[in-house]
Structures are given as C-alpha cells and as structure tokens.
Structure 1
Amino acid sequence: MKIKRILNNNALVVKDQDGEKILLGSGIAFEKRKNDIVDKSKIEKTFVMKNSSESQQFEEILETLPEDHIQVSEDIISHAEKELDIKINERIHVAFSDHLSFAIERLSKGMVIKNPLLNEIKVLYTKEFQIGLWAKALIKEKLNIDIPEDEVGNIALHLHTARTSAGSMTQTLDITTMIRDIIGMIEAKLDISIVEDTISYERLVTHLRFAIQHIKAGETFYELDSEMMALIKKKFKKAFLCARQAGEFIKSEYGFEFPEKELCYIAMHIQRYYNRSVSL
C-alpha cells in the first residue's frame, strides 16, 4: 500500500482496491512521504469509515490533537473492546478522542470537571466504569494527569454509548438523567435520603433503567392484575402517590410516560426505602 496522506507520526491515509483507509501504528509515518510504501509490520489499527464525513472528522482529529492524547484514547478503546468482548462502534474514535483530549486540557489548567450523574453511572454501567478506572491509571502513568471520578464516569458513558445496541449519547444521557430526577423526587417527597452504594439503591436504579428501555422499545415485561395493583395502591398509598408524581414530572419534562403497572413496581421500591428510613 502506498501513502496518500500523512496525518502525524502515528497515523496516515492509504488507498487500495477497497478505497481509502486510515492506518494507525507507532511511528508508522515517521520519516515517510507521500507515495512511500507502508511498512505493514507497523500497522496496529485499520479504519475504513462508512462515509466521507466520518473519515474527514477522524483525519482532523488525528491532525490536530496531541499525539499522546490520541494514543491514550486508542489504548483505552482497545482495552474496552477486550474487556467487554465486543467490537465498539467506530464513531467512538472521533467522539472519544476529542472528548478525552479536551478533558485533559481542562484538568491541566486546573479546571474542575463535575458529573451530576456519577452515582447512577456507577450502578448502570459497572463494567464501563471499571474500564474508566483502568483508564484513570493509564492517563496518570502516560500523561501525569490525575483525572477525577467524575471524568471516569464520562469515560464510562462514552464506552457504553459506543456499544452497537446502546443508542446515541443523547439517549444514554436522557435515561440516566431521568433516573437521577426520579430518585431526587423520591427523596424530596418523602423527606428521606437514598443512600448510594447499597443493594437497595442498585436494585432501584437497575430496575428503572430496564423499565425505561423496555417501555421505549414498546415491550411489556411485567404483569400485574388489577387486584394486585389495587392492593399496592391501598397498602403503599404514600409510596404510590410519590411514584405517580415522579411519573407526571418525567412526562412533562421528557415526554416519557410510565404505565400504571410500572408505577406500582416503582412504588414497591419506594416503600422499601420508606420502611427502612422510618425504622432508623
């Protein structure tokens, strides 16, 4: 393969019978020029972007961002693919490299990164968060930048979104934000504090995530007969009212509606917390 364009010392563009490709590899373009033959032994990653727009964006990232930032982001992506045993959507190479470089730049200037969804991310995307902690250690080792847990949460979100079936970053953020808002309303309405890092908290957050995903997909996964629903409403009256108020808020803010059966299940989770808080 002949070199068509050099992007940096570790990235270049080639053209063969399959079209244009972006090749990455340590020193793959060092002291090379256009039309030189590529040393295949130095190819570590090959990218064939699905459209010219994605290809241009990736080339721009490779040309403008610091090479050590790009290398670290690619190391994180490779580690994530291995740990999750999946092929991550190629769009992550643009979005994640750009995000990580900007975060590192802000931290190096003493700026603070805050992630209001951190507690929910830890529970919802456990594997991705563990990879984020691995990334934290790598960034410290390679770049001498100590990223906070808030940024670890951001990394986890990017990795989760890059899963083929995970949807867009906007969808991921919407679901996570909805869950945070529901928990905040429960705390405010019942004047209780929902403690993170507990099994009950994890059950509630996980339940809400799967409920939202299934409802969005138009799937029914719980069956409660009218007698059981009536019993829950009567026995857990305060908890059901809280669940209904949270549902009304989510509908007004996000245009997302929980069916009454789901509100009954949420009420049972709320009651569990309420009983615990009263007994303390």
Structure 2
Amino acid sequence: MIIKKIFNNNAILAKDSEKNEVVVMGRGIGFKKNVGDKLDEELIEKTFILKHKDASEKFKLLLEDIPTEHVALCYDIIEYAKNILSVELNDYIYVTLTDHVSYALKLFEEGLNRPNALIWEIKKFYPKEFQIGLKALEFIESETNKKLPQDEAGNIALHLINAQVNKSNSKVEDIAKQTKMIQDILNIVKYTYNITLDEKSLNYERFVTHLRFFFQRLNKNENIETEDDFLLKQVKIKYKSAYDCMLKIEKYLEKDLSDEEKLYLTVHIQRVTQR
C-alpha cells in the first residue's frame, strides 16, 4: 500500500495494489512518513473500505476534525453490531455514528445531556439494537472513562436501525417518527378495546413486526394489492370490532389503505386483542 494522505500519526489514507482508496489506522502508522511512502502493513490495526463514494469522502473529512480514538472506538462498536445483528450495514454508519458519539462525548464534557424522548419505545420495539447501544456505552466508558446516560444507548440504536440495508433510504428522524407512530397505533388498539396488551406474546411481536414493514411500504408508496376482496368482506363481518379499530388507524394515518393492507391489519388487531 502507498500512502496518499496522512491525517495524523495514527490514521492515513492509502491506495492498495488494486488502486482502491482505504483508510487505515494503527499506533504510529503515520509517524515520520510522507505521502508516496510505502505503508508498513504490520502496523495496521483497523481498515475502512467504504464503497459508497459520498460516504468515503465524508468519512475522510470527519477524520480531520474528530479524535482518532473516537473513530477507532466507533469502528469497534460497528463491528460488534454487525456480529450481533448478522446484517449488512450501510457505509454511512461510519460517518453518522462516529460524528454522533464524538459530539455526545463533547457535550458530556460540557455537562450537557440530550434526552431521548423515544427511549421507552426504542427499548420495546428494537430490543436487539438497544442492547447493542448499552454495550456501546460500556465500550465508550472503558475507552474514555466517561459514563454516558442511557439515552445515548437509544440514540446509538437509532443509528443502527437506520444503517440496516433495507432501511438505507431512511433518515434517523424518519425511524424516530416511525417508532412514535407504532406506539400511537398500539395506543389506538389499547384504548379502543380498553385492555392492556400482552407485550410478551407472540401475537404482539407479530403485530409490531407487521407495523414496521407496513411503514416501510408506506414510505416507498408500496401496497400489498389483490383483486379479490372476498376475504376482507368476510373478516369485516367476522371481526367487526377489529375492523372498526383498523378504520381508526387508517384515519390516524390520513392515507387510504389497500384492501389487502386493511385485511392484514384487521387480522393482526383481532389476534393481538384476544386472550
């Protein structure tokens, strides 16, 4: 590898044998080196290969403003998240999460805290990502001796949710909005039936999962379509209360749903409200 740019003693931009740009980090990897020198590959500890050009350019800019240890720390968090979630994450996670964590640490030093209004919902609807967020706080404390509040575990979880490839066109704000809307829909069901939903039940889990994919379809203006409305007519009669509840949800969404979406929502409402 040939050195193309030196960010600091511990981070450089290099070109590999196939002329691909890579950011590499390691203790002293750039010390007393110059652009054009051959890289001592034994010093490499972390390698960033960002295929998305825009993400790569933003990441390089980030390296000029953010402490290298913050970048290395977020690399470890992201690698841990990939292993736990077993999903591909969008390249932008290296930019967005690193920027967020570094800023959170800066605010912490200034005695400021950003509360996460959705912390309860994130815990409930995205438990795996939230647990990774909690683990990330342990990583951060271990490396920096700064104990960030639990709200930050929720913020980290939102970045991970956003970075999962099937949500790559969303923004963190969109995920936060979607999470609130899921809670609103659950409240409509609870108050319509005047019951407490069993959050540990399989039907509850299925309903929340359905809503998550349902909102993805809404965001993409996709609908499950069918020309046969026979089933919906049957369900409308058989599960009248669930159907009426579904209509309240449709009104809340301010969107005309397809017959198939109405059918699925009604069936899920029926299941989740049965003891």
TM-score by length of structure 2 reads 0.79
Q: Give 1:187 deviation, angstroms.
A: 4.0
- 1:248 corresponding residue in structure 2: 251
* 3-state SS, counterpart of residue 154 of structure 2: helix
Q: Distance in 1 between matches of 2:192 and 2:211?
A: 18
CA, structure 1 residues 89+270, in 2 after alignment: closer, same or farther (shift >3 Å)? closer
* 3-state SS, counterpart of residue 36 of structure 1: coil
CA, structure 1 residues 169+13, in 2 after alignment: closer, same or farther (shift >3 Å)? same
1:109 matched to 2:110? The reply is: yes
For 1:215-254, list aligned pairs within 5 A: 216=220, 218=222, 220=224, 226=230, 229-230=232-233, 232-234=235-237, 236-250=239-253, 252=254
- 2:77 corresponding residue in structure 1: 76
- 2:12 corresponding residue in structure 1: 12
Root-mean-square deviation (CA, aligned residues, Å) is 3.3
Aligned length: 270
Q: CA offsets per residue over residues 92-133 of structure 1, 9 Å max, x none?
A: 111111112122323343333333433443454343333222
TM-score by length of structure 1 reads 0.78
- 1:182 corresponding residue in structure 2: 185
1:266 matched to 2:265? The reply is: yes
Q: Give 1:261 deviation, angstroms.
A: 4.0
Q: CA offsets per residue over residues 22-81 of structure 1, 9 Å max, x none?
A: 222333223434343311012220425532x43331122111112222221111011122
What letter is aligned with 2:257? F
**Equivalent of 1:47, from 27, 46, 49?**
49
CA, structure 1 residues 49+275, in 2 after alignment: closer, same or farther (shift >3 Å)? closer
Q: Give 1:135 deviation, angstroms.
A: 1.0
Contact map agreement 1:123 1:202 (CA 8 A) in 2: no
Q: CA offsets per residue over residues 177-222 of structure 1, 9 Å max, x none?
A: 4312322333455555556566554333122123334565746499
Q: Distance in 1 between matches of 2:153 and 2:169?
A: 19
CA, structure 1 residues 185+86, in 2 after alignment: closer, same or farther (shift >3 Å)? closer
What letter is aligned with 1:129? F
* 3-state SS, counterpart of residue 263 of structure 1: helix
Moved more, 211-220 or 68-77: 211-220
What letter is aligned with 2:3? I
1:118 matched to 2:87? The reply is: no
Q: Distance in 1 between matches of 2:48 and 2:21?
A: 10
Q: Distance in 2 between matches of 1:93 and 1:45?
A: 12
Q: Distance in 1 between matches of 2:207 and 2:183?
A: 11
Contact map agreement 2:242 2:267 (CA 8 A) in 1: yes
Q: Distance in 2 between matches of 1:265 and 1:42?
A: 56
**Equivalent of 1:208, from 206, 211, 228?**
211
Identity of aligned residues (%): 36
Q: Distance in 2 between matches of 1:154 and 1:262?
A: 31
Contact map agreement 1:107 1:113 (CA 8 A) in 2: no
Contact map agreement 1:124 1:209 (CA 8 A) in 2: no
